[in-house]
Amino acid sequence: MAGLHKSEFANPVINWVESRLPIFTMMQKEYGVFPTPKNFNYFWNFGALAMVTLVLMIVTGIFLAMNYQPNTELAFDSVQHIMRDVNYGWLIRYVHQNGASMFFMVTYIHIFRGRYYGSYKAPRELLWMLGVIILLLMMATAFMGYVLPWGQMSYWGATVITNLFSAFPVVGPKIVTLLWGGFSVDNPTLNRFFALHYLMPFVLVGVVFLHVAALHITGSNNPLGIDVKSPQDTVPFHPFYTIKDSVGMCVFLMIWAGFVCFAPNLLGDANNFIPANPLQTPADIVPEWYFLPYYGILRSVPNKLLGVCMMFASILLLLALPWLDTSKVRSARFRPIFRILLLVWCLTFVGLGICGAHKPEGVWVILSRLFAFYYFAHLLVVLPILGKLERPLPLPESISNPVVRGAMGKVAAVLLIAGGLFGMQGVTPAHAEEEIVLPQQKWSFSGLFGTVDIASAQRGFQVYSEVCANCHAMKYLHYRDLAGLKLEPEQIKAIAAAVTVPQGTNDEGEPKEGPATPASQFRSPFINDKQARSRNNGALPPDLSLMINAREDGANHVYAILTGYADAPSTMKMQDGMNYNKYFPGHQIAMPQPLRDGQVTYADGTPTSLDQEARDVVTFLAWAANPEQTERKQLGVRVILYLGFMACVTYALKRKIWAAVH
């Protein structure tokens, strides 16, 4: 028999809603008074942090989708449009781009916490399994999102990952064609990936809801891994854990903002600043850091089908974890052997990631096999047996009456060091070829607080216009953008008016030319790539808009190339039309030496040595590749200070609130 819910709220409006839909009672029950073990440590922040990240990813994603074009012709350009023209577009995009990494960091720590404290054991098996499904969905979403910018890594990542399915006999190639909607990764693929990338986060929200609903049935685990015995063991979720989660959130947002404002491309790949080219694979193709361990497993197996199966199994096996671990004791605090072996397992996971970042040669193959072996052995052999053999330490009576202190600090330190190692190794893939060491220059724009030297960039623009622009386009720049180099509107108008650019068609339908306006793109020296090639010995002079981002250590790279011309050593056989350069990979470059002493005449009287010209043009290109960089760093300082202040306030409040419990 249906009936109105009995409601006792004082506010009549709330009462009216409440008696028809008891949502306030529910919120009060699940998030207000919800009894929560009182002994959580900060590892219990990470579920809430993941939730915050998911929300921020969805919100920023929706605003990005308003300006993104899922079309192979337009996708790359539309991302640059977001970065350069849309108000705060760079901020929204960098938050989203780095957000993917933050999401995986937080989720991996959350999973580790579950593993360490045995949160997957009865009665929380289903809760854990839903978590594994969330991880899988996240991976699919992140992968498809990475394809959207349609750079070289997007394209080749999509090709490699979708080709994984071709390993399956008989149906494999059919599945791949189905995924592509064609016979290679192309426009239909990009289109559907966009549609699915937009959909999946909402599926994620659904599964996260189930994950949380299941949590609220079983209640939370806790660092001791023992059941709640009496009301004394718990505190109400609010305000005790809302405030504790808030402290964690402030610190977490500080780290995120740090990446966004000071190192937005640290976790990315330079190759993705080059538009997708289906005819050329980049020399090193490496997935994003969060996929590296699985990539390591894939490459440790010499057989294609087996490698793919192992990779999928490495995650799917986690679904069975509640039954593979036969020990009744949850928390690793009371399982001394398990604790060490779990850490070893985590290190093998990190190790697999490091292997995944290196070319599969020599020692890396052996290491990755060793690590992959332990990854599976731990789950399939060690856990079932250890549960039977290990003698756990005596469990405390209750949460309010613990006898031991955790060693999580030490554990966290070990993992932090391992993670740092992974970070250093992971983001700079080692090159197997002859190493070219770029001389490191001092740049005005480098470092946390460095800003572009405007005078130098202005001179660099002159060098670009008089020299480089004869062969290299910069199609993502417009004359109006020169306002960022502190040029006055009148100067910009004059600069633009001196250049003749195509201007659509005249009334008879013929192509028309005319003087550029501030709204015009920088003039391109060639009408199309074909003409560019045919006039340059078959080599295409690349667009320079993003050059500094599109090369590893871009500023030093470009400077080294510009100043690295020399006579070829007699031992070297030069090909026709090629020039010797000390720093160009392979040492043979099609571009003749572009800059020499006295190539240009500076109005401000700066001496025009080759070094000065190269330095100025690199400064200009660095500005052109990241025109937002000064604003970004300034914003970063303010945001981090603000969040730091908030962290202090919430922490002080947390101490006050918890004072009565401790």
Partner 1 sequence: MAHSTASTDTHGHPADPSKRDMLELLAGASAALLGAGIAWPLVSSMNPAKDVLALSSVEVDLAPIAAGQGIVVSWQGKPIFVRHRTPEEVKAAQDAKPGELNDPQTDAARTKPGHEAWMVLVGICTHLGCIPLGNKATDVRGEWGGWFCPCHGSQYDTSGRIRKGPAPTNLAVPPYAFESDSKIKIG
| Stretch of 195-203, 357-365, 422-430, 648-656 contacting partner 1, by CB under 8 A | 648-656
Which position among 89, 99, 287, 293 is part of the footprint of partner 1 (CB under 8 A)?
89
Altogether, the residues listed in the chain come to a count of: 662
Q: What's CA 302's distance to the chain center, in Å?
A: 29
- Residue 387 DSSP one-character state: H
Site for partner 1 contains 652 (CB under 8 A): yes
Amino acid at 604: D
At 528, give phi and psi (nearest 5°).
-155, 175
Q: Catalytic residue at 466?
A: no
Q: Contact between 85 and partner 1 (CB under 8 A)?
A: yes
Q: Which of 38, 154, 166, 245 is catalytic?
A: 245
Minimum separation from the CB atom of position 464 to partner 1 (A): 21
Q: Of 569-608, which residues contact partner 1 (CB under 8 A)? A: none
User: What CA–CA distance (Å, rounded) separates 620 from 614?
Assistant: 10
Which stretch, 1-9, 383-391, 534-542, 636-644, contacts partner 1 (CB under 8 A)? 636-644
Please identify which residue in the block is written with the tokens 């699940």: 30
Exactly one of 18, 269, 284, 288 is catalytic; name it: 288
User: Which stretches of 301-379 are DSSP H helices?
Assistant: 304-316, 321-324, 336-356, 363-377
Q: Which residue has the tokens 């992974």?
A: 422
DSSP at 332: G
Phi and psi angles of residue 312, each rounded to the nearest 5 degrees, phi first: -65, -40
Among 235, 276, 310, 622, binds partner 1 (CB under 8 A): 235
CB of 224 to partner 1, least distance (A): 22
Span 112-141, contacts to partner 1 by CB under 8 A: none
Kindly compute the dihedral angle of the four CA atoms of residues 447, 448, 453, 459, in this order, to the nearest 10 degrees: 60
DSSP bridge partners of 521: 478
* Number of residues engaging partner 1 in binding (CB under 8 A): 46
Kindly state whether residue 59 participates in binding partner 1, applying the rule CB under 8 A.
yes
For partner 1, give the closer residue by CB, 517 or 593: 517
Contact between 36 and 241 (Cβ < 8 Å): yes
- Confirm or reject binding of residue 495 to partner 1 (CB under 8 A): no
Candidates 50, 91, 276, 624: give the one binding partner 1 (CB under 8 A): 91
Among 13-21, 237-245, 494-502, 530-538, which window interacts with partner 1 (CB under 8 A)?
A: 237-245
Query: Residue 92 interacts with partner 1 (CB under 8 A)?
Result: yes
- Minimal CA–CA distance to 555: which of 544, 566, 547? 547
Among 2, 13, 66, 389, binds partner 1 (CB under 8 A): 66
| Alpha carbons 69 and 74: distance in angstroms, whole number | 6
Cis omega (within 30 of 0) on the bond before 511? Answer: no
CA–CA dist 662, 652 (Å, integer)? 15
Shortest Å distance, C-beta 257 to partner 1: 11
Please check whether residue 449 is in contact with residue 378, taking contact to mean a CB–CB distance below 8 angstroms: no
For the question of residue 331 being annotated catalytic, the response is no
Known catalytic residue at 216: yes
Residue 201 near residue 56, CB atoms below 8 Å: no
Is 390 assigned a catalytic role?
no
Look-up of token digits 């554990």: 411
Structural contact between residues 141 and 201, judged by C-beta atoms closer than 8 angstroms = yes
Query: Contact between 14 and partner 1 (CB under 8 A)?
Result: no
- Among 110, 244, 557, 654, the active-site one is 244
Query: For residue 501, which phi and psi values (nearest 5 degrees)?
Result: -130, 160
Q: Which is nearer to partner 1, 414 or 652 (CB)?
A: 652
Stretch in the footprint of partner 1 (CB under 8 A) among 120-128, 137-145, 343-351, 649-657: 649-657
Which amino acid, 637? V
- Contact status: 211 vs partner 1 (CB under 8 A): no
Work out whether 642 is an interface residue with partner 1 (CB under 8 A): yes
Which residue from 17, 58, 74, 86 is in contact with partner 1, where contact means CB under 8 A?
Answer: 86
Taking residues 238 to 267 in sequence order and writing x for each that binds partner 1 by CB under 8 A, - otherwise, the string is xxx-xx-xx--x------------------
DSSP 119-159: TTSTT-HHHHHHHHHHHHHHHHHHHHHHHTT-BHHHHHHHH
Q: Decide: is 657 part of the binding site for partner 1 (CB under 8 A).
A: yes
Active site includes 442? no
**Binding region for partner 1 (CB under 8 A):** 52, 56, 59-60, 63, 66-67, 81, 84-89, 91-92, 235-236, 238-240, 242-243, 245-246, 249, 478, 480, 517-519, 639, 642-643, 645-646, 649-650, 652-653, 656-661
Q: State the catalytic residues.
A: 216, 220, 244-245, 288
